[in-house]
Amino acid sequence: MSTPDSSPFFLPFLSEEKGMPICSEIDPELFFPQDVEGNKLASYYNEKGAKEICSTCVYRVDCLIYAFKNGEIGIWGGTTDGQRKNMRRDMKISGLTIEQIALQQK
């Protein structure tokens, strides 16, 4: 297994102690919306499967916070970009931080 320093898969929150995230060994297409002809909205090949993978990852909260702060597209930390948009709205209403909301996610 490669370490965060030696891998082409890099995210700023990776650590030697935790090792590589589960998604680094899986086809990235699973985590990003696929274009569907004639449909303005993209869909995921297997959204449920991607979220299940995220749910077991030690980086789930870190990944969610990273995606939220950087406006990432796709499934990050077990959430879609649409879900993160809703989380942003919830933050404004509740006064909670993204870190607090991320820790509440299942």
Instruction: State which amino acid sits at residue 61.
Output: V
- Which of 19, 16, 31 lies closest to 67 in space, CA to CA? 31
What's the rounded mean pLDDT across residues 19-46? 80
- Rounded Cα–Cα distance for residues 89 and 27 (Å): 31
Domain boundaries defined on the chain: 22-104
pLDDT band, very low/low/confident/very high, at 5 (cuts 50, 70, 90) = very low
Mean pLDDT for the chain overall:
84
pLDDT band, very low/low/confident/very high, at 85 (cuts 50, 70, 90) = very high
pTM: 0.79
**SS3 of residue 99 by DSSP:** helix
